[in-house]
């Protein structure tokens, strides 16, 4: 079978690969603690499940309109108007099979070959492959811990050229667990106002899971940006609905021109999301706020706890998570050392692989997140506090048993 270059050249999603590996190890009866999966450990709130079950048993099993039912699109538009301050109507919304596919469709609808996409890194593993699948060219802006992994206005200014088509922004951030403050968003906007040819794809899938004093500021709510921001969100993370595959985009510019283009593509690809989940979208967005807040509070407690545990490890540095459910420690203090099982650690990949083999703790090596990611691992705290405690205890013991650094040993 001759596989296309396109398919051959794209790496598989490393986050999903680790999740699958942990699942397989558990099925074999191994004692594994998974900090890999970026998915809530909660079950979907009952009121949402009931809405879908009722629609299913009531016969809502036929094709539905490609961008979503009018009720579901209106529920999304109302949420974005009321909670995010985005001036939009149902015509500016499309609902897709997970926010991952929403980002993919948006890039397919925006990019022509050679168009540049500014991407601050470390960034979610799927962005680069998606940019490339759309024929775009990634322009990486590497950030580091000194700015809490946030791109500065100066860095943005430098990265923009006449070929820039898109700025792909993700706040709160996967994998960094940090978020742009409202002032920082405004600082980026001041630069973007000078470059009206740049469209912003703003992935706000973690916007409800924030732990600081300030809520997320949606760039699309600022009047000067309304017509050139695509706001992307979905139900997976905030409502614990990863398996349902529901994402959406809002793009009011040109009276929904981008949404029409995305719908056209979707009509040739998936037709729509699953029909009987449409009423669940309405239920989640209109009646699910208290449920989301309950889960957010639990995540906030875990963010604090895991940060206390991880920052106590000798030589390991990491900012406290302010959003999403990830902590992103710099583990480069382990490089040049040997694990208790005899593996020499030179990279985050070696670290993660030896850690899993020797302690049963799964973390995601930061390499595929780009930028300085290769010095980091990502740990998801979308898991119970007991497992966080036990996993961190195993990691601390293991770190304590690494051999002395070679430089120290020879010096
Ligand atoms: N964006 C980011 C930054 C993510 O971490 C994820 C996680 N999968 C997604 C988009 C997509 O979420 P989903 O497809 O489950 O809606
Ligand atoms: N976004 C989650 C993660 O980063 C789920 C897996 C994926 O889609 O990448 O782990």
Find the residues whose C-beta lies inside 6 A of ligand 1.
38, 98-100, 124, 170, 174, 203, 205, 234, 236, 242, 247
**Cβ 20 under 6 angstroms from ligand 2:** no
Structure confidence at residue 411 (pLDDT): 40
DSSP line for 66-91? TT--HHHHHHHHHHHHHHH-----GG
Distance CA 223, CA 45 (A): 35
Q: State how many domains the chain has.
A: 2
Question: Of 258, 287, 316, which residue sits at a domain end?
Answer: 287
User: In 3D, which of 96, 139, 22, 40 has the Cα closest to residue 262?
Assistant: 96
Structure tokens given for 15: 């986050």
> How many angstroms does the Cα of residue 205 sit away from the middle of ligand 1?
7
379, 306 in Cβ contact below 8 A?
A: yes
Structure confidence at residue 410 (pLDDT): 44
What is the domain-level CATH number for residue 90? Answer: 3.40.640.10
Residue 410 inside a domain? The answer is: no
Whether 211 and 279 share a structural domain: yes
Flag whether pLDDT at 409 surpasses 50: no
Whether 29 and 80 share a structural domain: no
> How many angstroms does the Cα of residue 18 sit away from the middle of ligand 2?
10
240, 265 in Cβ contact below 8 A?
A: no
Whether 336 and 271 share a structural domain: no
Distance CA 57, CA 118 (A): 46
Whether 209 and 262 share a structural domain: yes
**pLDDT one-digit tens code per residue, 103-149:** 999 999 999 999 999 999 999 999 999 999 999 999 999 999 999 99
Whether 308 and 165 share a structural domain: no
Distance CA 90, CA 247 (A): 15
Structure confidence at residue 42 (pLDDT): 96
Structure confidence at residue 139 (pLDDT): 98
Report strand pairing: 93-96 vs 116-121.
Answer: unpaired
Residue 200 inside a domain? The answer is: yes
**pLDDT one-digit tens code per residue, 306-328:** 999 999 998 898 889 999 999 99
Whether 207 and 265 share a structural domain: yes
What is the domain-level CATH number for residue 347? Answer: 3.90.1150.10
> How many angstroms does the Cα of residue 280 sit away from the middle of ligand 2?
22
Domain that holds residue 143: 48-287
β-sheet bridge partners, residue 34: 362
β-sheet bridge partners, residue 170: 203
Distance CA 311, CA 300 (A): 17
Whether 31 and 52 share a structural domain: no
Whether 95 and 196 share a structural domain: yes
Flag whether pLDDT at 44 surpasses 90: yes
Flag whether pLDDT at 78 surpasses 50: yes
- Phi, then psi, of 57 in degrees rounded to 5: -70, -20
Ligand 2, atom nearest to 36 Cα: 10
42, 240 in Cβ contact below 8 A?
A: yes
Q: In b/e form, how buried is each residue of 236-271, taking b as 16+ CB within 10 angstroms?
A: bbbbbbbebbbbbbbbbbeebebbebbbebbeeeee
């Amino acid at each position: 079978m001759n596989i296309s270059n396109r398919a051959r050249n794209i790496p598989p999603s490393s986050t999903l690969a680790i999740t699958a590996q942990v699942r397989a190890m558990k099925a074999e009866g191994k004692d594994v603690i998974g900090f890999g999966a970026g998915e809530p450990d909660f079950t979907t709130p009952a009121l949402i499940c009931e809405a879908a079950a009722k629609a299913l048993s009531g016969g809502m099993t036929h094709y539905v309109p490609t961008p979503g039912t009018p009720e579901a699109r209106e529920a999304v538009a109302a949420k974005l108007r009321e909670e995010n301050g985005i001036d939009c109507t149902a015509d500016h919304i499309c609902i897709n099979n997970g926010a991952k596919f929403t980002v993919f469709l948006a890039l397919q609808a925006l990019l022509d070959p050679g168009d540049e996409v500014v991407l601050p890194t470390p960034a979610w593993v799927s962005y680069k492959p998606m940019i490339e699948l759309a024929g775009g060219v990634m322009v990486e802006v590497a950030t580091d811990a000194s700015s809490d992994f946030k791109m500065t206005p100066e860095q943005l200014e430098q990265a923009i050229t006449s070929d820039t088509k898109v700025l792909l922004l993700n706040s709160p951030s996967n994998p960094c667990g940090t978020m742009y403050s409202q002032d920082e968003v405004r600082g980026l906007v001041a630069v973007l106002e000078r470059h009206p040819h740049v469209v912003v794809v703003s992935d706000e899938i973690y916007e409800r899971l924030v732990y600081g004093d300030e809520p997320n500021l949606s760039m699309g709510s600022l009047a000067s940006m309304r017509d050139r921001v695509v706001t992307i969100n979905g139900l997976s993370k905030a409502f614990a609905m990863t398996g349902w595959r529901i994402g959406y985009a809002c793009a009011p510019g040109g009276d929904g021109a981008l949404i029409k283009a995305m719908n056209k593509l979707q009509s040739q690809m998936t037709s729509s999301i699953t029909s009987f989940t449409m009423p669940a979208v309405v239920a989640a967005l209109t009646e699910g706020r208290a449920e989301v807040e309950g889960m957010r509070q639990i995540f906030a407690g875990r963010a604090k706890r895991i940060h206390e545990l991880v920052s106590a490890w000798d030589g390991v540095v990491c900012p406290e998570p302010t959003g999403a459910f990830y902590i992103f420690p710099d583990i480069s203090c382990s490089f040049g050392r040997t694990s208790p099982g005899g593996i020499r650690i030179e990279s985050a990949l070696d670290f993660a692989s030896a850690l899993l083999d020797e302690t049963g703790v799964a973390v995601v090596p930061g390499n595929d997140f780009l930028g300085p990611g290769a010095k980091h691992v990502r740990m998801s705290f979308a898991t119970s506090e007991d497992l966080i405690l036990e996993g961190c205890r195993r990691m601390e013991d293991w770190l304590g048993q690494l051999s002395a650094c070679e430089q120290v040993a020879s010096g």
